[in-house]
Amino acid sequence: MNGPFAFALGLGDDALIAAQRLAEWTTRAPEMEEDIALANIALDQLGAARLLLSYAGELEAAGRDEDALAYLRDDREFLNALLVELPNGDFAVTMAKLFFLAAYQLPLYTALASCPDERLAAIGAKARKESAYHLDHGALWVRRLGDGTEESHRRMQDAVDHVWPYTHELFAADPAAPVDPAGLRAAFDETVGPVLAEATLTRPERGWAPTGGRKGVHTEHLSYLLAEMQVLHRAHPGAQW
Amino acid sequence: MYGNDFSAPGDAPDDMPGAGLLGEVEAAEAELRAAAARERRGGPAPDEDLAAYFTEVVDAEQKIEPRDWMPEAYRRTLIRQIAQHAHSEIIGMQPEGNWISRAPSLKRKAILLAKVQDEAGHGLYLYAAAETLGISRDELVQLLLDGKQKYSSIFNYPTLTWADVGAIGWLVDGAAIVNQVPLCRCSYGPYARAMIRVCKEESFHQRQGYEILHTLAHGTPEQQAMAQDAVDRWWYPSLAMFGPPDGDSTHSTQSMAWKIKRFSNDDLRQRFVDMCVQQAEILGLRIPDDGLRWNEERRAYDYTQPDYDELMQVIKGNGPCNRERMAHRRAAHADGAWVREAAAAYAAKRADKREKVAA
Ligand SMILES: [Fe+2]
Ligand SMILES: [Fe+2]
């Protein structure tokens, strides 16, 4: 599946699944301030998801709104990158996911903000400011954990090693898209490299690079996430909420 | 005049819940500004009796501030009450947080997530208010985790369906506002100011809960049943939120004299019942009380009291979810310890580096 619908859907799914995962931290964060910060970021992602899914629904012109797209598709129809669906793990894994995702979303939304599609440009302009905050927040924690205690250093390095392979999929070439993700890789590397170095962390070698999310071939985790997210909506077909 | 404007049924100008209460919060805020503008005389004279000065300030409806002398018992009472309130905000995130992942539309998910986030913010303002009394947030959190301080019993009931999120907003946030609006005029300045901010947000929560129930009550038969079931389960626990009946309440008289508390438990409970009856009618939901009827003489509704033995059991730790709520909070605190240690170690290293650069 290609074209503007799939593009908007993929980005909307990234944001939606990221929001769902981040919201799992609510009431569980290591500090009360962090509970609030993670909820903020989840709300930003959810807001972007709603705009992108609504727009995807309009592009498709088949009468599907944001909720039809979020609640009534199965995992094989979701086009998010695998990185966002990975389980939260410990706080270090969540921060690795947040940091890498933001380091991709910031240049992506920045480029979208000046693309010819006005709707995508407006979404990009709004979301890039939010991504800049997510990136600051993620980078701060990567530094704190990487250069904190022995235990936090070990956990943060493990987290980077665990999440890193999933970053490559974010930059798979799509020359026909409003923004070709392949063109964002350099900006990502420039952001990530210095933060990892400052955090006394080693950047993994390029090796295993799992992929499939953009084609609807996911990890085993997504189906469980969707089962929980969709259960109530699907139990009451056609109901208003 | 504040205090005698309990809304009688039928004369509320606005059928949206919280409208009248929000007006009272605004009135309290104006009063607070007026009290600040009046200025107290510049503190007690050198040889003046501090207790007499304290009483004079309280009686004059001025605010006691952190730097002021205050009776030790006043300080202790406030710490206990504000801490219990802060803990309630934090533990209270759990029952509603339980439905964030399953919220039935993306809009409802966003509203609920923002609401639960507001409660964390309330917890933070309140811990900060308590800290002005000379105790740290860490100490208070430890008292909660050790089971030495309480939180509101209402959060020991489970959220079994989505309608419970609506019922909590309408009834639990509603009862919280009725309880807390008078606290916006509390004699202790930092608490009064925190409560003004909190009450404004609580009134939005109540409105959102009411909207959830309204949508369900006008939805499919299954949704209507879900809404009624939630009201059936949350009604009496919400009434119990106002505490034991006046005769059995241990802290009331002194708190009234200190203007920490302004109305008795039973007065506030009555006010809540009177407010809910009319709203339930608009919702099309039944309050589960066969004894509920208008009493022309009292100009108020007669109603059935909640089960205070059950309340005492829940306070003692034997509600349906006490153990889970505490286990959840303790686990989050313990799981986060390595993260907090890392943040402290990182900050110390940075401070070290700055010192070396400066030297
Ligand atoms: Fe609150
Ligand atoms: Fe609330």
Q: Please give the torsion angle defined by the CA atoms of residues B205, B209, B215 and B219, in that order, rounded to the nearest 10 degrees.
A: 160
The residue among B47 and A208 whose pLDDT is bigger is A208
Q: Read off the amino acid at residue B184.
A: C
Residue B6 has pLDDT above 50, yes or no: no
Total Cβ atoms within 10 A of residue A164:
21
Q: Taking CB atoms and an 8 Å limit, are A229 and B105 in contact across chains?
A: no
Assess B221–A contact: CB distance below 8 Å, yes or no: no
- Average pLDDT over all residues of chain B: 91
B193 C-alpha to ligand 1 centroid (Å): 14
d(CA A27, CA B332): 8
Phi, psi dihedrals of residue B188, rounded to the nearest 5°: -90, 115
Half-sphere exposure at residue A198, Cβ-oriented, CA atoms within 13 angstroms: 14
B342–A32 C-beta distance less than 8 A: no
Q: Touching check for A240 and chain B: CB below 8 Å?
A: yes
Q: Which residue from A31, A46, A71 is facing B336, i.e. has the nearest CB?
A: A31
**Residue B14 pLDDT > 50:** no
Picking from B4, B27, B1, the residue whose alpha carbon sits closest to that of residue B263 is B4
- Any idea of the CA torsion for A98, A99, A101, A107, to the nearest 10 degrees? 140
Give the model's pLDDT for residue B249. Answer: 67
Rounded CA-CA distance B358/A128 in Å is 37
**What pLDDT shows up at residue B31?**
84
State residue A2's pLDDT score: 66
Residue B246 predicted with pLDDT over 70? yes
Complex ipTM value: 0.98
For residue range A125-159, what is the model confidence (pLDDT) as tens digits?
Answer: 999 999 999 999 999 999 999 999 999 999 999 99
- Tell me whether B160 touches chain A (CB under 8 Å): no
| pLDDT confidence tier of residue B1, bands split at 50, 70 and 90 | very low
d(CA A119, CA A112): 10
B250 pLDDT tier (thresholds 50, 70, 90):
low
Decide if A36 touches B, using CB distance below 8 A: yes
- B78-89 average pLDDT score: 97
Q: How many CB pairs under 8 A join A and B?
A: 138
Give the C-alpha distances (Å, rounded to integers) separating B187 from A172, B30, B32, B61, B75.
63, 15, 10, 7, 12
- The pTM for the full model equals 0.94
Nearest to A54 by CA among B100, B106, B110: B106
Predicted pLDDT of residue B24: 81
Instruction: Judge whether A35 is closer than 8 Å to chain B, CB to CB.
Output: yes
Q: Which two tokens stand for residue B61?
A: 């409806």
Q: Which residues pair with B64 in a beta bridge?
A: B188
Write out residues in chain A with pLDDT < 70, as ranges: 1-2
Average confidence (pLDDT) over B333-359: 93
Instruction: State the residue for tokens 């309480």.
Output: B150
pLDDT band at B252 (very low <50, low <70, confident <90, very high): confident
What's the confidence (pLDDT) of residue B7? 32
Q: Domain A3-235's class?
A: mainly alpha
pLDDT tens digit sequence for B114-144:
999 999 999 999 999 999 999 999 999 999 9
Q: Is the pLDDT of residue B190 over 70?
A: yes
Tokens of B272: 């809540």
Alpha carbon separation from B46 to B41, B54, B68, B208 (Å, rounded): 13, 14, 14, 53
Average pLDDT for B57-72:
92
Burial status of residue A57 (CB atoms within 10 A of its CB: 0-12, 13-18, 19 or more): buried
pLDDT band at B354 (very low <50, low <70, confident <90, very high): confident
Look up tokens 């809540």; give the residue: B272
Secondary structure string (H, E, C) spanning B267-303 = HHHHHHHHHHHHHHHHHCCCCCCCCCEEECCCCEEEC
- How many angstroms away from the CA of B101 is the closest CA of chain A? 5
Query: Which residues of chain A from 123 to 162 reach within 8 Å of chain B, CB to CB?
Result: 143-145, 147-149, 151-152, 155
Q: Name the residue among A26, A66, A232 with its Cβ closest to that of B97.
A: A26
Q: What is the pLDDT of residues A209-225, one digit of tens each?
A: 999 999 999 999 999 99
Cβ atoms of residues B112 and A232 within 8 Å: no
Domain coordinates in residue numbering, chain A = 3-235
Position B7: which residue type? S
- Cα pseudo-dihedral A36, A37, A40, A41, rounded to 10: -150
Burial class of residue A55, CB neighbours in 10 A (0-12, 13-18, 19+): buried
A226 phi/psi in degrees, rounded to 5: -70, -35
3-state secondary structure of B64: strand
State the DSSP string of A167-200.
GGGGG---TTSSS-GGGGHHHHHHHHHHHHHHTT
Chain A contact for B336 (CB, 8 A cutoff): yes
pLDDT for the residue B41: 66
Nearest Cα residue to A128 out of A144, A115, A116, A142: A115
Q: What is the DSSP letter of B35?
A: H
Asked if residue B5 has pLDDT above 70, the reply is no
Which pLDDT value is given to residue A42? 98
CA of residue B25 relative to chain centroid, distance: 14
